[in-house]
Structure 1
Amino acid sequence: MDGKSARTPVCNIVTPVGMLGFGLDESITAELLAAVVPNGAPTAIILDSGSTDSGPEKLALGCMNAPRYSYVRDLTKLLRLAWKFGVPLIFSSAGGDGSDEHVEEMLEILQEICNDATNHHYSLKTIAIFSSVTKSFVHHRLHSNAITGCGPPVPPLTPQLIDSAPRILSQMGPEPIYDALTAHPDFTVLVAGRAYDPSPYIAFAAYASKTPFPTTSGPKNAAKRLWGGFAHMGKILECGGLCATPKCAAVRATVYEDGTFDLTPGEPRSRCTPLSVSAHTLYEKSRPDVLYGPGGWLNLTQSRYEQLDDGRTCRVIGGEFTFSRDEGRKYQVKLEAARVVGYRASYEGCVKDPVLIRQLDEVLEKVRAYVKQQHEGVEGNWELDWHRYGQHQVTAEDQPAEVFLIGEALADTQELANSVASTARKVTVHIPYPEQKATSGNFAYGLGGKMESELGPCAEFSIYHLVELEEGEERLNMDDNSNALYRQKVSVIGRGAPQKPQSLEAPQPSETVQPRKIPLTLLASTVDTQYPTHPKTLGDITRVLRSKNAGPYEITFDVMFSTARIYQLVKSSNLLSAAVIARLHDMREDEVIWSGFFDQALAWKATIPRTRRGQPVPAGGFMESDVHGSQKYIRLLNLPLPRKFVEKWDGVVARGMARVGSSLL
């Protein structure tokens, strides 16, 4: 089907925000729903609620990703919208981790909302899907050699790690959600446990289009494109309006019968464009071209992005999904867990004396030795280390700038951690050092009136592994089998009259805005941004330069450019490579997980292991200072540009080719 033909929509999806509990604009979400409901295709409000980005505490300690009040606030708005427009509400990874406890907590919140006098008209047929797994299941699969680490930095799983986990969750694919929707087409709300972020989007698109799992109808390539469209759409929408420029909270998608889909942001000032959408394909992933998930992988090497004539909508075409079993491989899902590894305490303050700052490393090692001496014979293990901010900066007078220190102690008990931190603070204040003049004290401390801070349990990711499933184990169990991986509970919440469910009859073709194709070679045609001559660093010549977690064990870097000419100049210069990122982060080139260019987004990407003292570590835990991974890009930002490259760059700028209109970004 060509871009000028009317297309038949199979579903519409509105995502109000990338994370339930983070707040949403009800009026903007209502406008997005009002725009798509008239096309007659089944419509749903779908959003994600989970992430490993904020660390392992949710899994280890049972806390939620946001305060309970935030979930009450957001769900009150979402139920009001769902009821007004007669569309279902679906969200996954309840509470942030998707544990069974937090699925039940969300059901309680829904009941509280319905109990409010203003909501007595609600009658919510609610499906809850649970995804926790038993330790006996994990032990058995480990014994059968059916479990592997999810990525090179993840250490092998051991029986001890299984036993020490308070809860173990399996990251469900779309199949259990699809099964629930098919079995209960009159549902109002679906609350899912831990799920692969795109799973509810894929499931609803398959359900609305009456496409069974796995597909057997039609040519194999057509089936791959259809499922590829579903998966690609879900991978983008689960982050809300981050695919727009400027980024915003809400976004909507209309999916068509061939897997093509259109994306439109909620904010009037924002636009979804070929560059902004293709750039999001790189976001928080190990690599941009092949994305693995439950039961298969999404291939985006042939993906295409077209601007529609409204200037705000982007059409996406060309993703392909391959089912693992079609290639003779087992269906795999990810297992996730975390454990408590000890207790923490800290102290913090500033060092301002330039004499001390110049020898700070040596002085802190003496502090560590003194703390060790004072705890000789004490039962229990402990560690002590420091976060140092500003240590290598200098003032205008070429003197060392002040250094902010956070001393962090980890120990087997809270009492021992408190003692280590307290002893370290006292000796940091009073330890002598060569050429000392300020003998009254070395350390400005006591922020907020605190000497030391008791930080409580220290959590660490312990299971982040792939497990092979037998045929059918990925599906929803309909027989209340407590040993099944995915189980459901169906209930009616509220005392009102039920709403009539949406029809799944095929809508008429939609006369939507048509694509305005913009080849990469023309992306520099509109003048808006002038690039500098004689740039000094990589940051001077990039449009986007960022870092982010790609799961708890990896950091990924995205470097994007504004024009095809600049991109090709960088690509042909050997300026960016696995060797470069390895050198910047003090590791061997063979330790780099992935490095390469992605033409669709005019981008280069690299992924490396998270490390501390040269060893792979997961996000969160002891001595974490950037759990999100979003400030790891600075070394790339400051990467010096070689003289020969700058000469070529200045030639491009002189010819007026290094300019790009912001309307195309």
Structure 2
Amino acid sequence: MPPSTEAAARVGILTPSGMLGAGFAPETIDYGLALGPDVIAIDGGSTDSGPHYLGAGVAKTTASAVSRDLRLLLRAAATADIPLIVGSCGTSGTDSGVDWVAGIADQIMAEEGLDLKIARIYSEQDAGFLKKELDAGRVHPLAPHGPLAPETLDSCTHIVGMMGHEPFVEAIQAGAQVILAGRATDTALAAAVPLMLGMPAGPTWHAAKIVECGGQCTTDPRAGGVFATIDHNGFVIEPLDPANACTPISVAAHMLYETANPYRMREPAGTLDVSDATYAPLDERRVRVEGSRFEPAEQHTIKLEGARVTGYETLSFSGIRDPYIVANIDRWAALLRNIVTERINQTLKLTDDDYGLDIRLYGHNAILQDIDPDPSTAREVGVMLLVNAPSQATATAIAKVANPLMLHLPLPEMHYLPSFAFATSPAETERGPAYEFVLNHVVDVESATGMFRTHYSREVSRA
């Protein structure tokens, strides 16, 4: 049965891990069920791994890992008779990602003899619809982006809208027992049932933010998920592993994660403000939080995410241990770029505008590059050459021009030919199409659910 919409004294949220398919110990679910949850909420994706998954419409997780986790959670939801909510299915929340997870769920339920009503909430957006919204002045950029051009929408392979909690509430009230959703805010999954059951918005949204990544708010993030108990004055957070612990610092620190402002966080419906929140230990492993507020927005907005193809990539990687070149690695990398550029022009008749060439020096400054605070010389350096071109064949041809230089290029003053080590044979790895994020915009909406489509596995009540 769906949860009653009457105001509750407390609401429990069981979050088994930060992402479906990441894994968790089965006993942590048993521990969480014993605490009396009202919902199981788990994220199914993220933009953390870059634009490829949205652009290509594929998942970063393997089906076997998702199936393993989902089997345990479907059993738990059926046992406890509570909703299971999975957001951003298939990593990026595309329609194909929702259907992929739903197909896995259908197979599991058939094998386990479960009969749960499933709601699929789709979040992909049509470029034509969004261009009309743009023309009507309802699409606005988020910093640092500027105004959106209509052709940018047409260039995207996939566009998703990021839903808040409202579509989840609507599905649960319609009788759904399992919700598999497209792109959603990480917090909306956990906030939906508490808000539906009358919990105050401040503690609810703050608790949802803290549990979004499972055990990341604990002293041992590898130990599994967490459980939040929300009441009318605040919430309590504890790990699902009895040997793990939450502390005021570990809980408060999670507001620093993926937020531009550690005290304020925008949701489609408004802004969470934790500037007056207090964090107090109840014992050695539980923390109570009070003082969180939520400011409803004057205008409800839906954030857009979109990705498009930028070209095709080929990658080469070689390792350098020659001490003289390692000691002069920046000068060597500049020489490599200059000679490769000249040879590409000579042999392939291409100019700089025809392709992209990225040289990264791993072990030296590949991550932070010019802002690395410690550029001291390492014993060995890995050289990654990443080529982006309009076609795969061109990208690979450029990488092959660089091949002999990445194997033997000496500095001008050297009187011997150094040898480096390619990581693979062949040295060139074709990566296929490359994608980039091109949307960082919001749409003003009158309905919090209007941009999303919900399909049910079978007829459900409309209570």
The letter for the 2-side match of 1:267 is D
| 1:262 paired to 2:228 | no
The Cα offsets for residues 397-448 of structure 1, whole Å up to 9 and x where unpaired, read as x987332211111100000000001111123335554222223xx3423324
Pairing 1:189-228 to 2, within 5 Å after superposition: 189-209=178-198, 226-228=200-202
Distance 1:20 1:362, change over 3 A: closer
Pairing 1:606-645 to 2, within 5 Å after superposition: none
The match for 1:92 is 87
| 1:381 paired to 2:370 | no
The match for 2:28 is 28
Counterpart Cα distance in 1 of 2:382 and 2:262: 38
The Cα offsets for residues 465-496 of structure 1, whole Å up to 9 and x where unpaired, read as 11111x2x213xxxxxxxx4112111249xxx
The match for 2:412 is 434
| 1:167 paired to 2:167 | no
Counterpart Cα distance in 2 of 1:242 and 1:338: 28
The match for 1:454 is 430
The match for 2:442 is 466
What is the CA-CA distance between 1:20 and the residue it aligns to?
Answer: 0.6
2:28–2:224 contact (8 Å) kept in structure 1: no
4+ runs of 1 displaced by more than 4 Å?
377-380
Say which SS state the counterpart of residue 124 (structure 1) adopts. Answer: coil
What is the CA-CA distance between 1:355 and the residue it aligns to?
Answer: 4.0
- TM-score, normalization: structure 2? 0.89
The letter for the 1-side match of 2:193 is F
Distance 1:362 1:108, change over 3 A: closer
The match for 2:371 is none
1:298–1:322 contact (8 Å) kept in structure 2: yes
Range moving further from structure 2, 94-103 or 351-360 = 351-360
Pairing 1:293-304 to 2, within 5 Å after superposition: 293-304=267-278
Counterpart Cα distance in 2 of 1:47 and 1:399: 43
The letter for the 1-side match of 2:404 is K
The Cα offsets for residues 245-302 of structure 1, whole Å up to 9 and x where unpaired, read as 12232100111134x1111101222211211111111112111111111121111111
Equivalent residue in structure 2 for 1:488, among 438, 451, 454: 454
CA RMSD of aligned residues (A): 2.5
Distance 1:391 1:47, change over 3 A: closer
Counterpart Cα distance in 1 of 2:27 and 2:458: 28
The letter for the 1-side match of 2:163 is M
What is the CA-CA distance between 1:87 and the residue it aligns to?
Answer: 2.3
Distance 1:55 1:377, change over 3 A: closer
| 1:363 paired to 2:335 | yes
| 1:292 paired to 2:292 | no
The letter for the 2-side match of 1:205 is P
1:349–1:443 contact (8 Å) kept in structure 2: no
The Cα offsets for residues 600-642 of structure 1, whole Å up to 9 and x where unpaired, read as xxxxxxxxxxxxxxxxxxxxxxxxxxxxxxxxxxxxxxxxxxx
Pairing 1:525-604 to 2, within 5 Å after superposition: none
1:350–1:443 contact (8 Å) kept in structure 2: no
The letter for the 2-side match of 1:315 is R
Counterpart Cα distance in 1 of 2:439 and 2:154: 11
Range moving further from structure 2, 226-235 or 136-145 = 136-145
The letter for the 2-side match of 1:299 is D
The letter for the 1-side match of 2:434 is C
The match for 1:351 is 320
1:332–1:467 contact (8 Å) kept in structure 2: yes
Pairing 1:27-426 to 2, within 5 Å after superposition: 27-36=27-36, 43-116=38-111, 119-120=112-113, 122-152=114-144, 154-184=145-175, 187-209=176-198, 226-247=200-221, 248-258=223-233, 260-308=234-282, 310-325=283-298, 330-357=299-326, 358=328, 359-364=331-336, 365-376=338-349, 381-391=354-364, 401-426=379-404
Counterpart Cα distance in 2 of 1:45 and 1:383: 45
The Cα offsets for residues 329-371 of structure 1, whole Å up to 9 and x where unpaired, read as x211100111111111111112333444423144212233222
Say which SS state the counterpart of residue 463 (structure 1) adopts. Answer: coil
Counterpart Cα distance in 1 of 2:457 and 2:134: 36
| Structure 1: runs of 5 or more not aligned | 1-7, 38-42, 212-225, 476-483, 499-503, 505-665
% identity of equivalent residues: 32
What is the CA-CA distance between 1:107 and the residue it aligns to?
Answer: 1.8
Distance 1:155 1:429, change over 3 A: farther
Say which SS state the counterpart of residue 339 (structure 2) adopts. Answer: helix
Counterpart Cα distance in 1 of 2:377 and 2:454: 64
The letter for the 1-side match of 2:124 is S
Larger radius of gyration: 1
Counterpart Cα distance in 2 of 1:431 and 1:411: 24
1:181–1:207 contact (8 Å) kept in structure 2: no
What is the CA-CA distance between 1:378 and the residue it aligns to?
Answer: 8.6
2:218–2:246 contact (8 Å) kept in structure 1: yes
Counterpart Cα distance in 1 of 2:268 and 2:161: 10
2:94–2:183 contact (8 Å) kept in structure 1: yes
Distance 1:230 1:418, change over 3 A: same
The Cα offsets for residues 32-84 of structure 1, whole Å up to 9 and x where unpaired, read as 111235xxxxx111111121001111110011130122111111111122222
1:342–1:459 contact (8 Å) kept in structure 2: yes
What is the CA-CA distance between 1:140 and the residue it aligns to?
Answer: 1.6
Counterpart Cα distance in 2 of 1:141 and 1:81: 42
1:368–1:424 contact (8 Å) kept in structure 2: no
| Structure 2: runs of 5 or more not aligned | 1-7, 367-375
Say which SS state the counterpart of residue 132 (structure 2) adopts. Answer: helix
2:14–2:40 contact (8 Å) kept in structure 1: yes
Distance 1:366 1:490, change over 3 A: same
1:58–1:65 contact (8 Å) kept in structure 2: yes
Aligned residues: 441
Distance 1:443 1:367, change over 3 A: farther
Counterpart Cα distance in 2 of 1:444 and 1:430: 6
1:380–1:412 contact (8 Å) kept in structure 2: no
Counterpart Cα distance in 1 of 2:378 and 2:257: 37
Counterpart Cα distance in 1 of 2:362 and 2:41: 41
